[in-house]
């Protein structure tokens, strides 16, 4: 397991860098990055016609920006004085726009906070009903094309650019929203010890049907057990998870 070092060791240089990278996994990270880069590049080329069709559908139904850009929290490996460690970073995450222009984000922020705190009453109040799915459903901010894009996960295709640039990986914990991280319990932050991913163990295991703590436990389990073969296994399972549409909204 990655061991935690006390913050003062690195605080002078990198305030958020507190987790060492396991030496035994450094070769794996090199192979993982090479695979991410070439796979993302190939998929962007192959899926370019689909990118164009989705962009046209969004623009025709809801004139405005085709892409939705949101700041997310992830992690990158840094090297300082011979120590290789994870640093918490923020980056611009790209998705196809699925909401109306100038949609109010406060309802989602309130729901996310209630989800992390496992406040069932608050989640029910925001949803307007009790649901097993741990995600905001019946969201009136979402357009008709957007609902289809979300259910099919096609809205996340632009994140292949994030993978290409190194902000994300094909496989890893989902990228967190800053206001989500603000209310994390200390143990939740362990999921920030890896590049965020387009897909991951949580997505192919429970998607949005598990409570937040269980989602984080699955992310941590992936981080502790990650290997190239586990990544391939998760990638192969992803299309089936998407086609099943379980927990998809």
Domain boundaries, the chain: 23-244
pLDDT at 4: 42
For 161-194, b/e burial (b = at least 16 CB within 10 A) is bbbbeebbbbbbbbbbbeebbeebeeebbbbbbb
Is the CB of residue 7 less than 8 Å from the CB of residue 18? yes
pLDDT, residue 5, reads 37
Which pLDDT belongs to residue 102? Answer: 80
pLDDT tens, position by position, for the chain (249 residues)?
Answer: 444 433 333 333 344 545 667 677 878 999 999 999 999 999 999 999 999 999 999 999 888 899 999 999 999 888 877 777 888 899 999 999 998 888 777 787 888 888 887 777 777 777 766 665 566 667 778 888 888 998 889 999 999 999 999 999 999 999 999 999 988 988 898 899 999 999 999 989 876 677 888 889 999 999 999 999 999 999 999 998 888 766 555
SS (H, E, C) the chain: CCCECCCHHHHCCCCCCCEECCHHHHHHHHHHHHHHHHHHHHHHHHCHHHHHHHHHHHHHHCCCCCEEEEEEEEEEEEEECCEEEEEEEEEEEEEECCECCCCCCHHHHHHHHHHHCCCHHHHHHHHCCCCCCCCCCCCCCECHHHHHHHHHCHHHCCHHHHHHHCCCEEECCCCECHHHHCCCCHHHHHHHCCCCEEECHHHHHCCCCCCHHHHHHHHHHHHHHCCHHHHHHHHHHHHHHHHHCCCCC
**Can you state the angle between helices 48-61 and 26-46, rounded to 10 degrees?**
60
């Amino acid at each position: 397991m990655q061991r935690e070092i006390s913050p003062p060791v690195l605080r002078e240089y990198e305030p958020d860098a507190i987790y060492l990278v396991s030496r035994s996994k450094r070769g794996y990270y090199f192979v993982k990055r090479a695979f991410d880069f070439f796979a993302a590049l190939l998929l962007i080329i192959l899926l370019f016609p689909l990118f164009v069709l989705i962009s046209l559908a969004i623009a025709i139904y809801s004139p405005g920006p085709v892409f939705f850009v949101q700041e997310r929290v992830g992690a990158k490996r840094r090297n300082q004085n011979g120590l290789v460690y994870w640093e918490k970073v923020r980056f611009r995450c790209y998705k196809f726009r699925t909401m109306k222009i100038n949609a109010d984000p406060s309802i989602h922020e309130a729901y996310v906070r209630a989800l992390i705190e496992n406040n069932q009453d608050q989640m029910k109040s925001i949803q307007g009903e009790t649901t097993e799915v741990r995600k905001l459903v019946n969201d009136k901010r979402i357009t008709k094309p957007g609902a289809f894009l979300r259910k099919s996960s096609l809205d996340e295709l632009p994140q292949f650019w994030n993978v290409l640039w190194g902000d994300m990986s094909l496989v890893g914990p989902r990228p967190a929203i800053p206001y989500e991280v603000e209310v994390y319990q200390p143990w939740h932050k362990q999921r920030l010890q890896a590049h965020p991913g387009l897909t991951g163990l949580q997505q192919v295991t429970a998607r949005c049907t598990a409570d937040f703590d269980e989602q984080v436990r699955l992310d941590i389990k992936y981080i502790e057990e990650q290997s190239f073969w586990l990544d391939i296994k998760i990638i192969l399972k992803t299309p089936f998870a998407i086609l099943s549409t379980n927990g998809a909204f």
